[in-house]
Amino acid sequence: MRNINKIKISANTKIHQAMKIISNGAIQIAIAVDKKGKLIGTLTDGDIRNGFLNGLNLDSLVKSIIFKNPIVAKQNYSKEKLLNLALSKKVNQIPVVDKNNKVKGIYVLDELLKIKSKSNKVVIMAGGKGMRLRPLTKNLPKPMLKVGNKPILQTLIEKFYDSGFKNFIFCVNYKSKIIKDFFGDGGKFGVKIEYIHEKKRMGTAGAISLIKKKILQEPFFVINGDLLTNLNFEKMLDFHYKHNSKATMCVKEYNIDSPYGEVTLKNENISSIEEKPRHKFFVNAGVYILDPKCTRLIPKKFYDMHSLFKKILSKKYKTVSFPLGEYWVDIGRFGDYKKAKLEYFSQF
């Protein structure tokens, strides 16, 4: 999805200004919005030419020639739905709006068609019991909790699908039948899903040891099944390859504001005082890319990603971080779940 900042106009933009914006924008369209960023309509070269035929000139305002009923898409549309919409309506550009009709970007048909399928596997850890979300998870695995009227797992699949990833491995344990019955082999979602059943809980990395080596022949994703993110997975994979990494961890900046004035001491002497400072650090975002070589380091027992990355580092394998600037929420507690439900339609 493209940003619209360079093709954005108002109803009071002059035609000669709009022509320049359309010409420089490369996708032959301008998006008209009001002061709140809400969609007014679209403007193309054809609209301008019709305006000239009706007596307008270069200094006329575009308000009278804006097309006010364009085909639009919601943020949660899958790539398949977007393609069907563009092809059925015979349009090349589709503005994307949120529930308040604010424009969030624009899809271009040619770019949607150019997304290539990737053979890299996506391993989703979906075997946990979600004890901190009881009673919601008493009869339902946490990744199947609904956010935005669909299971968390479904949104994850759709986000990967939009980036061209279609080969999934679900590591399941708790209430696994519910997951298998809903997703099956993945056919109805346009993907292929295989299942690894953990006979006992194996943590965020242990289940990888159960996957046959011949299946993992190239770098693969590992992601926790209880998070939602707008991360560009294709860019993360490109980053992994570019840096010749053996293990890449997605990290999220986290800030904590201290409620106190902090005093730095040198022996008994005060060397500095800082009033209510902000501490910035990075946290593990639960998304990884691993080289198949790393699977040799995983024992067939309960084992977490923290331990695996420590071992990878001890082996001096190239290990890099991929900073996450996009939306991300780890649904581990009731507050996180409530937050995700409130924000879903504005983000997806």
- 282-307 confidence digits (pLDDT tens): 888 999 999 999 999 999 889 999 99
Q: What percent of the chain has pLDDT over 90?
A: 44
Is the pLDDT higher at 206 or at 25? 206
Residues 238-267 have a mean pLDDT of 88
CA 161, CA 106: separation in Å to the nearest integer? 18
Judged against a pLDDT cut of 90, whether residue 54 lies above it is answered with no
Judged against a pLDDT cut of 90, whether residue 337 lies above it is answered with no
Q: Smallest Cα–Cα separation from 147: which of 221, 59, 226?
A: 226
At residue 107, the pLDDT reads 87
Residues 250-260 have a mean pLDDT of 84
Is the pLDDT higher at 269 or at 157? 157
Q: Which two tokens stand for residue 107?
A: 């899809």
DSSP code per residue over 264-312: EEETTEEEEEEESPEEEEEEEEEEEEE-GGGGGG--SSS--HHHHHHHH
Cβ contact 2:25 at 8 Å: no
At residue 266, the pLDDT reads 84
At residue 26, the pLDDT reads 74
**Most confident of the ranges 137-141, 211-215, 240-244, 274-278:** 240-244
Judged against a pLDDT cut of 80, whether residue 9 lies above it is answered with yes
Helix axes 152-162, 79-89, angle to 10 degrees: 60
CA 119, CA 242: separation in Å to the nearest integer? 18
Judged against a pLDDT cut of 80, whether residue 114 lies above it is answered with no
Q: What percent of the chain has pLDDT over 70?
A: 99
> Maximum Cα–Cα distance for the chain, whole Å?
83
Q: Smallest Cα–Cα separation from 241: which of 213, 220, 267?
A: 220
DSSP 340: H
Torsion, CA 272, CA 277, CA 278, CA 281, rounded to 10: 30
Residues 226-233 have a mean pLDDT of 89
Extended strands (E) in the chain:
8-9, 30-33, 39-43, 73-74, 93-97, 103-108, 118-126, 165-172, 192-197, 220-224, 227-229, 247-257, 261-266, 269-275, 278-290, 319-324, 328-330
Return the bridge partners of 74, or none: 97
At residue 127, the pLDDT reads 82
Residues 110-137 have a mean pLDDT of 83
Strand order, beta sheet including 165-172: 192-197, 165-172, 118-126, 220-224, 278-290, 247-257, 319-324
CA 151, CA 183: separation in Å to the nearest integer? 10
Q: Smallest Cα–Cα separation from 124: which of 288, 256, 264, 245?
A: 288
Indicate the domain borders of the chain: 5-113, 116-347
What's the CATH fold of domain 5-113?
Answer: CBS-domain (3.10.580)
Residues 265-292 have a mean pLDDT of 87
Helix axes 45-53, 15-24, angle to 10 degrees: 150
Residues 37-52 have a mean pLDDT of 90
Q: Which two tokens stand for residue 183?
A: 């997703």
**Architecture (CATH level 2) of domain 116-347:** Alpha-Beta Complex (3.90)
Q: Smallest Cα–Cα separation from 223: which of 172, 287, 173, 167?
A: 287
